Amino acid sequence: MFENKIVIITGGGSGIGKEMCLYLAKERAKIVIADINLDQANETAKEVRKFGADCLVKYVDVAIQDDVEKTVKETKDSFNRIDVIINNAGIGLDGEFKDMTLEHWKKIIDINLWGVVYGTYAVYPIMMEQGYGQIVNVSSLAGLIPGGLMSSYVATKHAVVGFSLSLRAEAKQYGIKVNALCPGFIETPIHDRTLKVSEYLKSEKNQRNKNRFPTANDCIHGIMRGIVKNKTIILVPRSHKVFWWINRLCPSLVPYAWGKIINKLKK
């Protein structure tokens, strides 16, 4: 499926993005690792090249349109086409709405939502001209269900799902596939970088158990299989689909459960 395909991955230096790069390297894809952290991107590139795969490393801040468009243009100039873009870069933000500033909201929307829009906007005309291509927008299980203490994150991820599913309807006529990738509770470095704006979340008793959830490596085959099969929504791990179904059957239950969790965290 991916042999000799030209694939751009934003946020490819760590977490799910890195695991995608390594998977694609084994498949002999040609990979563009785009990341704001060049050290991490270069480390990923070293591992990718061990599999004999071609790759380029590009600095990109997905919140800046010019950065994204430059990466896409340079990829097209280097390889004459773009087969797949995976808009993966994102950040987290935990805490109560009352503790968030508008600057917090602006930053997370710029990265999690505008980063996806910028990436899609840059490749779309190229893929229309080619008559084919695939756009994978990384959302989250939080894009399918509500979540307490992360209203801004959930808002951006719901927006990514809505955007992706709507665009999928339009893009099909041009031979372009669009997918929403919705990872569930997966242990990745995004958790270590997530800003906690409510003080009680910083206490030792409220720190997460890092061994509780599956890793990105545990889920990579399900992720890539969903991309190959062109699934509308790719939700991994499969066991976390139960949360989606519960929310669809009883929309009041998840917010109620989160209310109980928040009360427990604050004690």
Distance CA 227, CA 224 (A): 5
Distance CA 159, CA 56 (A): 30
Concerning whether 132 is annotated as a catalytic residue, the answer is: no
- All residues at 6 or more sequence positions from 11 whose CB lies less than 8 Å from its CB, including other chains: 17, 34, 35, 62, 88, 89, 90, 138
Residue-by-residue DSSP string for 3-41: TT-EEEEETTTSHHHHHHHHHHHHTT-EEEEEES-HHHH
Backbone angles phi, psi at 97, to 5 degrees: -55, -35
Annotated active-site residue in 23, 118, 124, 153: 153
Six token digits for residue 116: 């996806």
Distance CA 29, CA 7 (A): 7
Distance CA 128, CA 132 (A): 7
Cβ atoms of 181 and 225 within 8 Å: the answer is: no
Cβ atoms of 262 and 254 within 8 Å: the answer is: no
- The catalytic residues are 153
